[in-house]
Every structure is written in C-alpha cells, then in structure tokens.
Amino acid sequence: MSLAIVWFRRDLRLADNPALAAALADHQRILPVYLHAPGEEAPWSPGAASKWWLHHALADLNRQLGGRLLLLPAADSVTTLVHLVERSSAAAVYWNRLYEPAVVARDTRGKQVLRDSGVAARSFNAALLFEPWEVSNKQGSPFRVFTPFWKNLQASGVPRQPVVVPDLGGRLIGERAFARLAGADLEELGLVPAIPWYTGIARAWQPTRAAAEARLEEFLASDVRRYAGGRDLPAKDQVSRLSPYLHFGQLGPREVTAACHAAKDPAAEFLREIGWREFAHHLLYHFPNTTDSPMDGRFDAFPWREDESDLGAWQRGETGIPMVDAGMRQLWASGWMHNRVRMIAASFLTKNLLLSWRSGARWFWDTLVDADLASNSLGWQWTAGCGADAAPYFRVFNPVLQGEKFDPRGVYVRHWVPQLSRLPDKWVHQPWAAPAEVLAGAGLSLGANYPQPLVDLKASRLRALDAWGRVK
C-alpha cells in the first residue's frame, strides 16, 4: 500500500485542505508531519505571540489526528524530508503553498531535490482564493492598487468553494510504524516561554479549529450586521477576530467567503477585508523586498529618526497620547489590536515621532497573534505612505480627533488606560489640555501617574511634512 507524507505548515486544519485531499485520493496511507524549522523563515521567523499560538494550534491538530502528527525539529527541512521519505518508504510528499520569499525559495529547492530522488512532490493552494500568478491587470502586470484588484477578483467568481476532504478513517500510518519514526514532543519545540507573560493572550483567545468555526458562525449570525457601521469603533469590538485563524490556516479563505455568501445578512464590507488580505499576499509574492524596503523609492532617502527612548515609550503605551497608549496596551495584554487603532498608532510612530515603519513592523511582528508577513508589511507601508495604494504621507492621523470620532465617550481608552478613568469625556483624549482642577479631581498628575505627551501633535505634524518635502 502506497504511503504519502502530508507536510503541514500554516494549514493547520483537516477541512478544505487540498494537499490532504489529494494525498488521500492518490495513496492508501498518510503520514502527517510538521517540521519545525523557524530559522528557514529568517529574518522573519515567528514572533513570540505567534509561537504561543502555534503551540496550541499544533496540539489541536494533533488531537484531530488522533495523536498521529509527527513533529520533527529541522535544521534543514529538505534534508529532513528526504530522510523521512527513506525511513517511511513514502512514495510522495504533499503540501500547501506559502508565499513569503524565504519559504518560496525553500519549497522550490525541496520540490526539485525530492523529484531528483525519485519521490513525487506536489503543492497546492490552501491559503488564498487565487494564486498570485492568476491575477493581473490588462497589461499583464500585478495590481498595485486595491480597488481594481478587488473588482478583478469579484469578476473572476469569488468565492471558490472549499475542497472536500475524505474521511481519514483508518488511513493514517499505523501506531507501530508511527512510534518507530520517533518524532519530538510538542514541548520540545520550545514554543511556549518559561515565563508566562502570555496569560492575557490565553484569556483572550482559543487557538483551535473548533473556536475558529464557532467565531465565524457567531460573526455571521450577529456581528456582521453591524460590521460596516461598527468596524471603526474599538469599544464595540464589532469585528470578525478571524485573522489569527486565517494566518495559521485553522480556517481557509474559501471557507470564509463561502460562508459569507451563504449568510442571511450582507457581508460585502467584510468580504473586502478578505480581499485586502489577498491583495497583501499577492503583493508580497510579486514584490518580495517590501518586507524591508519601501515600494516608493523616494523613501529610501527619508530622514527617519533613531530614538530608542521614544520607540520604547510607544511600545509600552506610555506616549502620553491616550488613543495610542490604549492600543499599545491592548496589544501587549491580548496579542491583538483593533484595526482602526493600529492605523492611529502606526501613524503616530511614523509621522509624529518620525520613527521608521520598519521598527513598528518588527514590534507588531513579535506581539500580534495574527502577525502575517504580507498583511503586516502592507499595513505599515500603507500608513507610512511608502507602499502600494498607500495613504499619502501628508495624511497624518490626529489621535485626538480620531479618538473623539471613534471613541467619543472614551470607553476604549478608559478600559486600557485606567489612569484616565475619572476624566470627563471632554478631556479623556487630551488630558494635557484639561484645567488643573479637572486633573486634580480625576486623580491625575501628568508626568507622575500618566506621561506628558512625547511630542506636540501640531508641531510634530509640521516636522513630518517638512521631512517629506525634502525627499518628494
């Protein structure tokens, strides 16, 4: 009976898994494998929050596989796969594609090495609606602007239906053979740190396939009706919270889009966000340098400041700007930040503090449970004004006005910055402007129990525009 290895990566689900479905169609026995090789994703190896999520997602996948997920640490995935093929007598290796530059290079080499050794190697698309090479403009080039990209996808027939995966019943490699292959215990991968800084993240999230399905069902049953009007209101939290499940492949985009189209209530606005995710991955595939280099070459000469003190204050949520601080504290406590607030915090870093978008992208990469290289790179370049379809650099989010518009009663700010909880609504987004008696009545002493603003918002905006004027 022929045996196939199914190499799981960020497709940690059994449903809508085209590699698994194809392996089951072609072979009688299946060996599910996860190779832990974070060094192969350098310089963008998984961050701390991502590793926590990965640990629990792998545990969940292993439960679904009846404890038959072979975990192997790998200094070199290709070499490890070749050895595993030899030990298991596998006839083929199946996997689902990823689109980050380092992984593309690794997988291309792996496919060639396996085929040269006489082993079938097949890869599939489980992460996107369309392959990056399937979508192009009338000139045959990749889209660099989202709206025509999304119109093109819609005209192409979104959604594509999820892949039906046959029942695994009795098809996994036998217990004796599995034991002989001797993989690692999950704890041996060292994904969960000894110091439990992640307790807040653990309270906020359940990194399982069942939780992903439940959240999708809940969102489409209720929150989607309020999504268009509530998505920008951080205190309401009327967003999907599906991003980490999509990143780790516990949900697939085909599953999400099919469910959206089947839902009773309109989900068009949310589907655009799935389109943005798709756009980000297509851009990264076609422009792999965007993780570290601006798409707009003028920004190569931009005079970014280097100030570790200001960067640290921003990371800790101690800038003295309530909306920014609330978002950064939410991020640290829960591994996630509301999208509207992400834009506000990113604008403050790149415009008001004049610190590079690269520093912000690195911090988000380490602290977000949904840290996705494509989306993270696109988001930061968009806010900084140097990427595809970017907001113009001179668009500077005023965090006071943004707070007053999207958190008018200060509910979000007060939750994450409790030092401001007794301030009247009028001052909660700009405590430095409050009269002394108001501050005293609220128990607030600026510079003591809450910081003075790092910068003057008006003056720092003018500084940013001056810097832009020198390179544009």
Annotated catalytic residue within 44, 150, 380, 432: 380
Annotated catalytic residue within 53, 95, 276, 314: 276
Q: Is 304 a catalytic residue?
A: yes
pLDDT reported for residue 390? 72
pLDDT reported for residue 158? 66
Mean pLDDT of the chain: 94
Q: Which residues of 273-296 are buried (b: 16+ CB within 10 A; e: fewer)?
A: bbbbbbbbbbbbbbbbebbebbbb
Annotated catalytic residue within 40, 100, 273, 404: 273
- CATH number of the CATH domain containing 89: 3.40.50.620
Q: Is 339 a catalytic residue?
A: yes
pLDDT reported for residue 423? 97
Task: Give residue 334's domain range.
Answer: 297-469
In this prediction, residues 154-176 reach a mean pLDDT of 85
How many domains in the chain?
A: 3
pLDDT reported for residue 178? 82
The yes-or-no verdict on residue 452 having pLDDT over 80 is yes
462 Cβ partners below 8 Å, 6+ apart? none
- CATH number of the CATH domain containing 133: 1.25.40.80
Long-range contacts (CB closer than 8 Å, 24 or more residues apart) made by 136-144: 142/282, 142/283, 142/286, 142/287, 143/279, 143/282, 144/283, 144/295, 144/388, 144/389
pLDDT reported for residue 395? 87
Annotated catalytic residue within 44, 357, 365, 427: 357
- Alpha carbon distance 345, 360 (integer Å): 9
Q: Is 357 a catalytic residue?
A: yes
User: Could you tell me which residue, 349 or 269, shows the higher pLDDT?
Assistant: 349
Q: Is 365 a catalytic residue?
A: no
pLDDT digits (tens, 9 = 90+) for 39-53: 999 999 999 999 999
pLDDT reported for residue 159? 64
pLDDT reported for residue 179? 81
**pLDDT band, residue 157 (cuts 50/70/90):** confident
Residues 412 and 333 in one domain: yes
Residues 153 and 94 in one domain: no
Report the DSSP beta bridge partners of residue 30: 4, 172
Q: Does any domain span residue 170?
A: no
Q: Does any domain span residue 168?
A: no
**pLDDT band, residue 400 (cuts 50/70/90):** very high
User: Could you tell me which residue, 174 or 88, shows the higher pLDDT?
Assistant: 88
- CATH number of the CATH domain containing 316: 1.10.579.10
Residues 120 and 133 in one domain: no
The answer to whether 262 and 436 are in contact (CB under 8 A) is no
Residues 255 and 331 in one domain: no
Q: Does any domain span residue 189?
A: no
pTM of the full predicted structure?
0.96
Residues 16 and 88 in one domain: yes
Q: Does any domain span residue 75?
A: yes
Residues 270 and 305 in one domain: no
Pick from 115-129, 177-191, 382-396 the range whose average pLDDT is largest: 115-129
Domain boundary among 234, 258, 286: 286
Q: Is 352 a catalytic residue?
A: no
pLDDT reported for residue 392? 80
In this prediction, residues 111-137 reach a mean pLDDT of 96
Q: Is 380 a catalytic residue?
A: yes
In this prediction, residues 230-255 reach a mean pLDDT of 94
Residues 118 and 79 in one domain: yes
Residues 385 and 408 in one domain: yes
Determine which of 44-53, 91-100, 190-199, 241-250 has the lowest per-residue pLDDT on average: 190-199
Residues 258 and 309 in one domain: no
Q: Does any domain span residue 457?
A: yes
Residues 70 and 103 in one domain: yes
**pLDDT band, residue 276 (cuts 50/70/90):** very high
Domain boundary among 286, 306, 329: 286
Q: Does any domain span residue 439?
A: yes
Annotated catalytic residue within 41, 131, 152, 304: 304
Q: Does any domain span residue 184?
A: no
175 Cβ partners below 8 Å, 6+ apart? none
The yes-or-no verdict on residue 127 having pLDDT over 70 is yes
**pLDDT band, residue 62 (cuts 50/70/90):** very high
Residues 320 and 416 in one domain: yes
3-state helix/strand/coil string of the chain = CCEEEEEECCCCCCCCCHHHHHHHHHCCEEEEEEEECHHHHCCCCCCHHHHHHHHHHHHHHHHHCCCCCEEEECCCHHHHHHHHHHHHCCCEEEEECCCCHHHHHHHHHHHHHHHHCCCEEEEECCCCCCCHHHCCCCCCCCCCCHHHHHHHHHHCCCCCCCCCCCCCCCCECCHHHHHHHCCCCHHHHCCCCCCCCCHHHHHHCCCCHHHHHHHHHHHHHHHHHHHHHHCCCCCCCCCCCCHHHHHCCCCCHHHHHHHHHHCCCCCHHHHHHHHHHHHHHHHHHHCHHHHCCCCCHHHHHCCCECCHHHHHHHHHCCCCCHHHHHHHHHHHHHCCCCHHHHHHHHHHHHHHCCECHHHHHHHHHHHCCCCCHHHHHHHHHHHHCCCCCCCCCCCCCCHHHHHHHHCCCCHHHHHHCHHHCCCCCCCCCCHHHCCHHHHHHCCCCECCCECCCCCCHHHHHHHHHHHHHCCC
The yes-or-no verdict on residue 175 having pLDDT over 80 is no
Residues 344 and 270 in one domain: no
Q: Does any domain span residue 190?
A: no
> What is the arrangement of strands in the sheet containing 70-73, beginning at the earlier edge strand?
70-73, 29-36, 3-8, 92-96, 120-124
The yes-or-no verdict on residue 264 having pLDDT over 80 is no
Domain boundary among 228, 261, 286: 286
User: Could you tell me which residue, 260 or 17, shows the higher pLDDT?
Assistant: 17
- Alpha carbon distance 460, 397 (integer Å): 12
